[in-house]
Chains A and B, each alone.
Chain A
Amino acid sequence: MPARIEDHSRTILDTVVVVDGAPIVTEKKVDALTKVLKKLFSEAGRVREDGFYMPMSPDGKSKGYLFIGFETVEQADNAVRGLNNKRLDNKHTLLVNKFTDIEKYGDDDEEDEEYIEPPEEPYVEQEHLRSWLKEPNSVDQFILYKGESVGVFWNRKSEVPEVNVNRSNWTETYVAWSPLGTYLCSVHHQGVQLWGGDEFGRKARFIHPGVQLLDFSPCENYLVTWSPEPIQLIPENSPMRGSFPFTTADEGKQIVVWNVQTGMPVRTFSSAVGPDSENGPGPQGPKKISWPAFKWTSDDKYLARVVPGQQIFVYETPGMGLLDKKSIRIDGVVDFEFSPAVIKGTGKKDEPEHVISYWTPEMNNQSARVTLMTIPSKEVIRTRNLFNVAECRLHWQNSGAFLCVKVVRFTKTKKSTFTNLEFFRLNEKNIPIEVVELKETVINFAWEPAGDRLVIISTSDVPTAPGAPPGARPPPGKVPGMPGSGGPVKTSVSFYGLERSKGVNGQFRQIMTVERKSSNSIFWSSKGRFVVVAAVGGTSNNTGELDFWDFDFEGEKKEIPGAEEVPANLTLMASGQHYQLTDIEWDPTGRYVATSSSMWGRAMETGYRIWDLKGQLLREEHVERFKQFLWRPRPPTLLTKDQQREVRKNLREYSKVFDQEDIAEESQASKELIAQRLRLLEEWRAWRKVVEAELAEERGGVVPLAFKSEDDGTEIIEEIVDEVISEKEEEIED
C-alpha cells in the first residue's frame, strides 16, 4: 500500500511546475498577474482548480515565483517545453521547471553535498569550418551534382576541376550551400544534414520528416525548413522518440525554425498563415506555399511573414516571440521587404533600427500606398500614394541606400499596363522620391550590388496574362524577379545610372537601351561593375544568349547624350551562347560565371560552362544527368573600406604579379604535359618492342597467309628488251 501512495503522490507532483522569474507585484496587482499567468498557462493545458499557488512574502508582495498544477503529466511537460524562457515583457522572462525536477536536481541529496570537481574534458580540436578560404590564390569551390554523385571541386579554370570530395547518394533531392558557405546541406526524407570542414564531415542533423524546402537566415544562425507532411509525434515507447525533437505543441506544424548551433527547433509554424485567415486554404485544394516563408533582417535579429490582406508578423530572435507580442495590422497588405541595411536608432533608444517596406493596394476609397516603417520602433518614416496600381514589386539595393518600387499601372482604359519606377533615396533627408516612367512592361530588374546603377529588361508585347485587377494578390510561390514563362518574347534591355555632378546626386538617367533581344534575366557580379544579361530557361525556343557588359570599361569614354554626368562607360565585352541554359551564377569573387543546364530544367543537352568575366569561354563539359552547379559562397570581406580602397588603387601592381604567376603556372603545366606525353610515348614504344620480339619468336619465321605478301604491293614488271649493239656478218668457211 505505501508503494501505491508513493506512486500516487509522485503523479501528483509530476503535474506541478515551478515558475520563476515572474514579476514581483504588490497586493493590488496580484489579481491582474494571476489572471495573466492563468491565461498563459492554460495554453499548455488545463490548470487544476486548486492548482494555482503564488506564495506571498509578509510585506504583501509576491515572491516572483509560483506553483501551477495541471490535470495531467503531459500538460505539465508541455508547459515546461512551451513556456520555459517565455518573455513576459522586457524585464521578465519566465523559467518553468517540473516540480519533481527541482527535487531531482536539487541539492538536498546528502551524498552530493561534497562538491566534486568534474573531470576536465580533454580538448578536442574542432575542424576549421572555413579552411577553404585559406587557399592562397582565393580559388573558389563549387558543387557538381550529377546522377547520384555530389562532389565539391576546386575551380581550375579551363582544366578539369580538382576533386575535394565526391560522394554518391550524398543527398536525396538536392544540395545547397549555407549563405556564407560554411555548410553544405543535403536534403533527405528524414530531414536536413549539414556538412563542413576540410573533409566535409557531418556537422548537424535536423530531423524533419518529408522536408522539401529550406532557407537559412543571412548570418547562418537559423535554418527554416518546410515539409508538406504535418509533424506527427512518434509514439512514446518508440526507440526513435529519444532523438525526436518535437513535442505535442509542434504537432501538425509544417515549418520549423532551427538553431543551427544547437541543432534544436526554436519554433514551429503552420504553413497556412494566421489563425484568422479567412482566405486560408481555399476550395482549390492545397495552397501553393510561397518560399522563403520568412524574410529576415540582415543581422538575423528579426524575421517576418505576411498574412496577405491583413497583417505582418514580426518575430524577434532568439526567443522567437512576436515583436511587442502583437502583429502589425495593415489592412490589405500584399507584400513586404526588409531593407538589407541596419540604421542607427532614432533618438529614444540606441537599439539599431531596421526598415521594412510594404505596399497596400487601392481599397476602401484609399489609394494604393507604399510605406516605409522602422522596426522595432514601428514608426512610419515615409509613405507614397500611388494610383491605378496593378502590382508593386519592392527592390532594395543591397546596401539599403535605395529602394526601387516597380509599379505596374493601368492605362486610362484599364486595358493595358505600363511600368513606373519609384526610387526612394533612404540616405537623403526626408527620403525624396524620383519617378521614372516607362512605356513598356518591365519583366526584370536588378540593382548593381553596392552601386547606384541598374539594368531593366522590358517588353512591349505583354508576355503573360495582363496585370491582375487591383487588390488581387500576386500568385504565391512565384519568386520575385523571375520571369514567368520564357517564351520567345522580344525584349529590350536598358541600363540606368545615377547622375553625379560635383559629388551631388542627380537623377537616374538612361545610359543605353538595346532593342530586340530575347534576354529575360540579369546577373550582376557580386562585386558590381560587370553584369551578364541572358535568356534563361529550359524551353526549346530558348537560344541561351549571353551578353557580358562592363559598366566601367577602361577605354575611351563614349559620350552618351543626356547622361553625360553618369559615372559609367558601358561596353558590351562579349556575347556568348549556351543553348537551353537553365542557371547562371557568378562566383563569389566576381571573376567567373558558370552557366549550366540541368536535367531539372528539362534541357536536353545537360552540362555546365565556365566563363571569365570578359565573356571568354574557359571550360565546357557535357554531363549526363547533370543537376546542379553551385559556387560556394564566401563570408563578407574582413578588410575595412580603407583597405579595400587601397587594394583597388594598387590593382595594377597586383595584376602584374598575378599575371606572372599565371604564366609560370601555365609553363609549368605545359612542361608537365610534355613530360607526361614523352613518358607515354616511350612506354608504348618499349612495350611494342617487347611484344613484337616475343611474337616473332613465337611465330618462328612462319608467316601466316594474312601477312604473306606476294608482291609487296608494287608490281614487278619484267621486260625483256633485245638491244642490237652491232651487227657483223662473217662467213665461215668450212
Chain B
Amino acid sequence: MRPILLKGHERPLTQLKYNKEGDLLFSTARDKIVNVYYSHNGERLGTYTGHQGALWSVDVDPTSTIAATGAADNTIKLWEVRSGRCIHTWNFPTAVKVVQFNEDGNMLLAITEQRMGYQGTVYVFPVIIDVEAKQAEEPIIKFSSPENKFTKAGWSYLNKWIITGHLDGTVSKYDAKTGELLQKVVVHEKEVTDLQFAPDMTYFITTSKDKTARILDTKNLKIMKTFVADAPLNTGAITPLKDYVILGGGQDAKDVTTTGSRQGKFEARFYHKIFEDEIGRLKGHFGPLNHIAVHPAGTGFASGGEDGYVRVHHFDKSYFDFLYDVERMRPE
C-alpha cells in the first residue's frame, strides 16, 4: 500500500508516537511544534505550539488525555490532547531529550542533556491524569551519571527499573525507586541512538551508530539478538504480531551532502527478530531516518526522517502472510 506522506514539519523529525489505541500519531521535530494526526488517513488533528526550541521527545498517557513533550528550550510541557492547551510546564537547566510515561500513566520519566556544567540527569515526576488537576513541581527522584552521558531511557515493566542508553555504547539499569545503579553492560561500540521496548516490556531493542541493533533481556540485560546493518542506525522498533524488527538510519546527517542519495542507505530495513536475517527494505526518505514507531496493533508503522517528512505505512497482506519454512513447520 502506498504510504501516507505527512508534511507537517519544516525541520528534521525527532520522534513519533502512537497512542495506546493507535488511532493517533504524535510527531515532534526541530521546528518547535508538535503535530497530531489520525493515523489511518493522515488527517491532522491539530498542532501544539508553545515551545521555544527544537522538540526532542513526545509521549501520551494510556488514556490519551495528556501528552508530554520535552524540548531544547529546557522545558517539559503537558498538553491536553483534545484541545492542545498547555496545562503545565517544568523548567530545567538544560534541554530535555526524552519523556516517557510509565505503564500506569502516573509517572513521567525524563532525561536532560549534559551541558554547560550541568550533568545529564534522570527525573521522575508524578502525574495526575486530569487536565484540571494541579501537577506536582518536584520530582519523586532524580539521579545523574557524571561520567557517562545519557542518550535514551525507558521504563521497565511494573515500574521496577529505568533502563538507560549512553553515549559510550553502554546500557544501564537503575532501580526506579531509589535511583541506584544495578547493572551496566557494554552493548555497542558507539553511541546508543534509540531504545524501544517490546509491548510487554520484557525485552527491548537498542540501535547504535556502530551499525548494529541488539535485543536485550530487560531482566538481566543479556544480549539476545544482534542485527548488523550497513549504515549507522538511528532508530529501531519491535513489531507486535509478527516477529520482526524495523531499523532505520543512514549516513550521518552531516555527511549527506558529500555523498549521493544512492549511497545514503536511507531505507527502513526489516529484519527477522529471531533469525536475525534482513528480509526487506523500504525506500522513500531522502535523508536519514531519525525515528520509527510501530502501530500498537502491529498493522503499520510510521517513519520520520531528517528530510522533515513523516511516512505512515499500513502493512499489506503479504507482510502478515510471510513465514519462514521453519515457522510453518512449527506453528505456535
Contact = CB atoms under 8 A, between A and B. Distances in A.
Nearest to A680: B274
B252 to A, nearest CB: 13
A706 B105 contact: yes
Interface stretch (A100-108, A176-184, A511-519, A690-698): A690-698
Nearest to B106: A705
A680 B330 CA distance: 12
A191 B141 CA distance: 61
B274 A681 contact: yes
Contact of A705 (B21, B63, B259, B274): B63
Contacts of B263: 604-605
B104 A706 contact: yes
Contacts of B273: 684
A622 B265 CA distance: 12
Interface stretch (B47-55, B304-312, B319-327): B319-327
B104 A678 contact: no
A707 B62 CA distance: 8
Given A695-B157, A699-B158, A705-B63, A685 B332 contact: yes
B62 A708 contact: yes
A678 B330 contact: yes
B297 A698 contact: no
Given A604-B259, A704-B104, A706-B103, A681 B326 contact: yes
A701 interface: no
Contacts of A622: 230
A682 interface: yes
Given A681-B326, A685-B332, A707 B103 contact: yes
B275 interface: yes
Contacts of A677: 274-275, 324, 326
Contacts of A684: 243, 273-274
Contact of A681 (B20, B158, B202, B327): B327
A695 B217 CA distance: 13
A572 interface: no
Interface string B238-275: 00000100000000000000010001000000000111
A705 B230 contact: no
A685 B157 CA distance: 20
A682 B327 CA distance: 10
A704 B330 contact: no
A413 to B, nearest CB: 44
B279 interface: no
B329 interface: yes
A577 B224 CA distance: 38
Interface string B58-82: 0001110000000000000000000
B200 interface: yes
A706 B202 contact: no
Interface string A671-682: 000100110111
Given A685-B332, A705-B103, A698 B325 contact: no
A622 B203 CA distance: 30
Contacts of A685: 332
Given A674-B325, A699-B158, A707-B103, A682 B330 contact: yes
A674 B104 contact: no
A713 interface: yes
B63 A698 contact: no
A695 B21 CA distance: 23
Contacts of B224: 687
A713 B104 contact: no
A698 B200 CA distance: 13
A713 B274 contact: no
Interface in A630-689: 674, 677-678, 680-682, 684-685, 687
B202 A695 contact: yes
A362 to B, nearest CB: 50
B62 A680 contact: no
Contacts of B106: 705
A698 B274 contact: no
B229 to A, nearest CB: 10
Nearest to A607: B230
Range, interface on chain B? 20 to 34
A674 B327 CA distance: 10
A678 B62 CA distance: 37
A605 B63 CA distance: 48
A699 B200 CA distance: 12
Contact of B326 (A678, A691, A707): A678
B198 to A, nearest CB: 10
A691 B243 CA distance: 16
A708 B105 CA distance: 12
A289 to B, nearest CB: 34
B104 A692 contact: no
Contacts of B230: 622
A606 to B, nearest CB: 11
B275 A680 contact: yes
Nearest to B277: A677
Interface string B155-178: 001100000000000000000000
Given A677-B324, A692-B200, A705 B104 contact: yes
A453 B208 CA distance: 54
Contacts of A691: 202-203, 217, 219
Contact of A706 (B62, B217, B259, B325): B62
A684 B330 CA distance: 13
Contacts of B62: 704-706, 708
Instruction: Pick the most buried of B200, B243, B297, B327: most chain A CB atoms within 10 A of its CB.
Output: B200
A684 B324 CA distance: 15
Interface in B188-219: 200, 202-203, 217, 219
Interface in B95-115: 103-106
A674 B325 CA distance: 8
Contacts of B324: 677
Contacts of A707: 103
A674 B326 contact: yes
Contact of A704 (B103, B202, B326, B329): B103
B160 to A, nearest CB: 9
Interface in A585-623: 604-605, 622
B68 to A, nearest CB: 14
Contact of B158 (A678, A698, A705): A698
B157 A681 contact: no
B240 to A, nearest CB: 12
Nearest to A691: B202
B251 to A, nearest CB: 10
Contacts of A674: 325-326
A681 B263 CA distance: 34
A193 B63 CA distance: 70
B105 A705 contact: yes
A682 B230 CA distance: 29
Contacts of B219: 691
Nearest to B260: A604
A682 B20 CA distance: 30
B285 to A, nearest CB: 19
Nearest to B218: A691
A708 B263 CA distance: 45
Contacts of B20: 706
Interface string A705-722: 111100001000000000
Interface of B: 20-21, 61-63, 103-106, 157-158, 200, 202-203, 217, 219, 224, 230, 243, 259, 263, 273-275, 297, 324-327, 329-330, 332
24 contacts: A604-B263, A674-B325, A677-B275, A677-B324, A677-B326, A678-B326, A680-B274, A681-B274, A681-B327, A682-B330, A684-B273, A687-B224, A691-B203, A691-B217, A692-B200, A695-B200, A695-B202, A699-B158, A705-B63, A705-B105, A706-B62, A706-B103, A706-B104, A706-B105
The 8 closest A-B pairs by CB, nearest first: A704-B103, A705-B62, A706-B103, A706-B62, A677-B326, A684-B274, A705-B105, A691-B202
Given A684-B273, A699-B158, 13 more contacts: A674-B325, A681-B275, A681-B326, A684-B274, A692-B202, A695-B157, A699-B157, A704-B62, A704-B103, A704-B158, A706-B104, A713-B21, A713-B297
